[in-house]
Structures are given as structure tokens and as C-alpha cells.
């Protein structure tokens, strides 16, 4: 019988500021004398979210599900390098839905730190490798995993969704060039200490993509950049109604085995419709990251 899983991960942004007293060249730097545009270096601190901009594909209705291509913005995780551009703060909007910068991620072998990206949604596959996986129960193909963050004071805290994965059969975590591309290996697998197939690490779960199954697939809530609302928060999901975590948990995870009268298709549809109802579209694909041979230097234009 299928299950639904919830993974709460840290949802804050790393603070980027033009205030010289708060700047650290190990974390970010500005380009060409700018106080707005620069490079956010590979994260060396605890996990953070980014407000990301990248080309991709989406659907805006599950009734008429035709993929459209666009430049997309969304909240997600990429702990590697990214170009950033500071944004003007929104008025009367809490910090967790008020991005301070938009990030355009790229991959570069220079200055790699230990933090990994999980889940990973860029390129030809969605992947889930490790984040709180050891505490989840009865994970199986077809299960739904909700990745997000909780904000707000108890007892009115709210779960904000950033990624939904529909699991495929697991794959071994071996670093195999034919199975995983170099960027995913470097961004995630090597960062969690995987070096061979005998070290007992958890398996990797790919996510079902739109091209695999148009009925129930992985997605990330997003909004096309041409939409006037190009700075925004994250969709709210009632996890208590789904039988998952109570408000106030902040971090952690929970698995729920579905009852005989429940099925993943209905649960997926209800979540997808709620995301669309809140003004988002369903991101079905994010382009592979650009590879740079070296990091841009502070004197180079953005």
C-alpha cells in the first residue's frame, strides 16, 4: 500500500547585503563595483533555500496538461554557486515569502564546499538522495514526498511547499557516470561522502517526471517570469489534513501509510489543484545548469 511523506527542511535564505561590514568573501561577492549583482559562493553553512530563476517547462492546468516553456522563478535548493541580483523588499510581507535576491544557479568546480543539494531537480531527472530519508517509513515506488519549510508561530505555523516528488524505483548510490551526470555527482552524491558502492549509503530515488506519467508526476511550484507577479512566496499546504505533521514541528519528517479509501492519485490531484489555486503553475522541468570553467572575478560584468 502506498504512503505519503513529509520532509521539513530549513527554509530561510542566506543574507546577502551591500553593507561592507556584513560581507564575507567566502560566502558572496559583488561584480564590477555593483552593489546589486554578484556571485553567491557554494554554501558552507547549514542548508538554505534560494529564490531561483532558470529556464524550464510547466503546466498551468491538470485538466489541459500541455507543457509550456518559459523562464521560471521558484523557491528551491541549490547549494552550489549562483549569480544573484538583489531585489526590492515587498511591503507588509513576512520574510519567508519576501525574497531578498533572485539566484541563477550554475556549476563550477572551483571553491566547492561540503553542503549538498537534495532534492535535486535540474536537468533530465529529479533526484532524492538523503535528506531525512532514514526516518521515513515504507518508501516505495508511487509514493508522494512533500518537501518544504514551516514558518509562523505556534499553533498557527504553516507548511510551505517547494517540491513534490512522486517516487520511482530506487537506484544504487554508486558514482556511475552512465547513471548520474557529473553535476549531480558533484552537487549531491560526492558531498554526502559517497565514493563507491560498498559504503552502505541510502539508495537514490528518481522522481516520476511529466514525460513519464501525465497523471501523477513530480513538480515544483513556480511562476513564469513574464507574469507580473515575479516576486512571491511559497504555496501553503495543510499537512494536518493529510495526516502528517502538526504545526510547530519546524523540522523533521513523517510518513503516513494510506488507508484503504485513500489513493495517491487523489492526494496528488488535491495538492496540485491547491498549488494552482494559489496562483502558481506546476514546474515540470528545470534546465541543466550551465558549466563554467572558472568563477567570475569581481571585476567581470554580471
The domain ranges of the chain are 3-292
- The neighbour count for residue 101, using CB atoms within 10 Å, is 22
Q: How far is the C-alpha of 81 from the C-alpha of 204, rounded, in Å?
A: 23
Q: Which residues pair with 107 in a beta bridge?
A: 291
Q: How far is the C-alpha of 112 from the C-alpha of 47, rounded, in Å?
A: 15
Q: How far is the C-alpha of 16 from the C-alpha of 101, rounded, in Å?
A: 8
Res 32: pLDDT: 82
Q: How far is the C-alpha of 225 from the C-alpha of 56, rounded, in Å?
A: 11
Contact 164, 144 (CB under 8 A): yes
Q: Which three cell numbers stand for residue 258?
A: 494510506
List the beta strands (DSSP E) in the chain.
3-8, 28-30, 37-40, 50-59, 68-76, 82-86, 101-108, 126-128, 144-151, 158-166, 205-207, 220-224, 236-237, 252-257, 281-286, 290-292
Contact 31, 69 (CB under 8 A): no
Res 301: pLDDT: 39
Q: How far is the C-alpha of 57 from the C-alpha of 42, rounded, in Å?
A: 26
Contact 100, 15 (CB under 8 A): yes
Q: How far is the C-alpha of 240 from the C-alpha of 246, rounded, in Å?
A: 6
Going residue by residue through the chain, which has 302 residues, state the pLDDT in tens, using 9 for 90 and above.
699 999 999 999 999 988 776 677 889 999 987 889 999 999 999 999 999 999 999 999 998 778 999 999 999 999 999 999 999 989 999 999 999 999 999 999 999 998 999 999 999 999 999 999 989 998 999 999 999 999 988 788 999 999 999 999 988 877 766 789 999 999 999 998 754 433 446 789 999 999 876 789 999 999 999 866 689 999 999 999 999 988 777 788 999 999 999 999 999 999 999 999 999 999 999 999 999 999 998 744 33
- CA-based angle 174:184:234, to the nearest 5? 125
Q: What are phi and psi of 70, to 5 degrees?
A: -165, 165
Handedness of CA 109, 199, 177, 165 (dihedral sign): negative
Q: What are phi and psi of 191, to 5 degrees?
A: -75, -20
User: Is omega for the bond preceding 185 within 30 degrees of 0, making it cis?
Assistant: no
Residue for grid cell 524550464: 56
Res 85: pLDDT: 95
Res 138: pLDDT: 87
Q: How far is the C-alpha of 24 from the C-alpha of 17, rounded, in Å?
A: 10
Contact 39, 111 (CB under 8 A): no
Q: How far is the C-alpha of 62 from the C-alpha of 273, rounded, in Å?
A: 8
The closest alpha carbon to 145, from 119, 122, 123, 124, belongs to 119
Contact 26, 287 (CB under 8 A): no
Residues in Cβ contact with 102 at an 8 Å cutoff, skipping those fewer than 6 apart: 51, 52, 53, 73, 84, 85, 87, 231
The closest alpha carbon to 163, from 144, 142, 186, 177, belongs to 144
Q: Which three cell numbers stand for residue 265?
A: 492519485
Amino acid at each position: 500500500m502506498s504512503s505519503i511523506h513529509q520532509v521539513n527542511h530549513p527554509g530561510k535564505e542566506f543574507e546577502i547585503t551591500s553593507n561592507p561590514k556584513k560581507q564575507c568573501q567566502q560566502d558572496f561577492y559583488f561584480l564590477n563595483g555593483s552593489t546589486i549583482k554578484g556571485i553567491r559562493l557554494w554554501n558552507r553553512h547549514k542548508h538554505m533555500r534560494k529564490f531561483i530563476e532558470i529556464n524550464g517547462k510547466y503546466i498551468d492546468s491538470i485538466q489541459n496538461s500541455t507543457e509550456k516553456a518559459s523562464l521560471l522563478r521558484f523557491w528551491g535548493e541549490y547549494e552550489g554557486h549562483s549569480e544573484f541580483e538583489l531585489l526590492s523588499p515587498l511591503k507588509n510581507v513576512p520574510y519567508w515569502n519576501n525574497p531578498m535576491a533572485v539566484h541563477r544557479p550554475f556549476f563550477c568546480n572551483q571553491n566547492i564546499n561540503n553542503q549538498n543539494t537534495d532534492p535535486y531537480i535540474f536537468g533530465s531527472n529529479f533526484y532524492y538522495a538523503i535528506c531525512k530519508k532514514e526516518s521515513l517509513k515504507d518508501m516505495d515506488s508511487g509514493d508522494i514526498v512533500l518537501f518544504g519549510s514551516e514558518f509562523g508561530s505556534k499553533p498557527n505555523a504553516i507548511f510551505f511547499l517547494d517540491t513534490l516528488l512522486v517516487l520511482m524505483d530506487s537506484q544504487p548510490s554508486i558514482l556511475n557516470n552512465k547513471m548520474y551526470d557529473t553535476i549531480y555527482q558533484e552537487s549531491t552524491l560526492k558531498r554526502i561522502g559517497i565514493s563507491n558502492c560498498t559504503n552502505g549509503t541510502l539508495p537514490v530515488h528518481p522522481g516520476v517526471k511529466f514525460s513519464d506519467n501525465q497523471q501523477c508526476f513530480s513538480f515544483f511550484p513556480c511562476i513564469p517570469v513574464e507574469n507580473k507577479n515575479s516576486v512571491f512566496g511559497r504555496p501553503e499546504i495543510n499537512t494536518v489534513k493529510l495526516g502528517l505533521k502538526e504545526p510547530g514541528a519546524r523540522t523533521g519528517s513523517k510518513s503516513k501509510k494510506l488507508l484503504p479509501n485513500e489513493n495517491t492519485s487523489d492526494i496528488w490531484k488535491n495538492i496540485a489543484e491547491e498549488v494552482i489555486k494559489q496562483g502558481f503553475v506546476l514546474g515540470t522541468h528545470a534546465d541543466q545548469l550551465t558549466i563554467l570553467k572558472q568563477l567570475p572575478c569581481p571585476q567581470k560584468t554580471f
